[in-house]
Each structure stands twice: as C-alpha cells, then as structure tokens.
C-alpha cells in the first residue's frame, strides 16, 4: 500500500509540474498557446484556462491527500520501531532447591 501511494504521489507531482508549465500567465492570451483560434479550440474560447486551472486544483488536492497519507505511514513506522513490542521477555522461575549453602547454619530436626 505504501509503495502504491508513493508512486501515485510522484506521478501527481510530475503532472502538476507539467500543468503549471503549460498554463499561460494572467497577462498572456490563453488562445496563443493553442494555435490562436479561440473558438475553434477543443475547450472553447475561454475553456482551456478554466479546464487547466481546475485540473491543476484537483491534482494539487490529490497531492495533498497523498502527502498526508505518506506522513501517517511514516509516523506509524517510526512509532513501531521505537516500541518495546519487538523485545521478547523471558520469565525465569526462582531456583527452588532443597540444598542449602555450605555456610548456612545447620538445622537440627
């Protein structure tokens, strides 16, 4: 799951860069980059700017979501790495022996 989201994140980043570079600034004419004939373009007279702007906004929102998801995954990995769940505890029973130490006082029964 982590690898899939990472790949989607990288693809979105590349698409956002491409869309931003294709768009014209506010001062430039929108039809200039699509051959000049504003009404004859695929998007209509002013549709290209709006379409690219909306597409950029959608990709940016998806990029934001994938960024947050990757941050949650990274936090989970570091939390799991620093917990003591992976440490195995062994319980040892106290040694029960009927013998006493050689230095212990002798008991008479």
Per residue in 11-54, pLDDT (tens digit) is 999 999 999 998 877 655 555 555 555 555 555 655 567 888 89
What the block records as the tokens of 43 is: 């998007």
Per the CB < 8 A criterion, the answer to whether 31 and 41 are in contact is yes
Per the CB < 8 A criterion, the answer to whether 30 and 48 are in contact is yes
Mean pLDDT lowest among 4-8, 41-45, 68-72 = 41-45
Domain ranges of the chain: 51-79
pTM strictly above 0.75: no
């Amino acid at each position: 799951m982590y690898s899939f989201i990472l790949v989607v994140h990288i693809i979105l980043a590349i698409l956002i860069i491409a869309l931003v570079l294709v768009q014209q600034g506010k001062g430039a004419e929108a039809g200039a980059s699509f051959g000049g004939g504003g009404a004859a373009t695929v998007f209509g007279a002013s549709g290209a700017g709006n379409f690219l702007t909306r597409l950029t906004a959608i990709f940016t929102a998806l990029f934001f979501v994938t960024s947050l998801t990757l941050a949650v995954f990274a936090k989970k990995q570091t939390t799991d790495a620093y917990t003591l769940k992976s440490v195995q505890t062994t319980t040892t029973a106290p040694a029960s022996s009927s013998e006493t130490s050689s230095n212990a006082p002798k008991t008479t029964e």
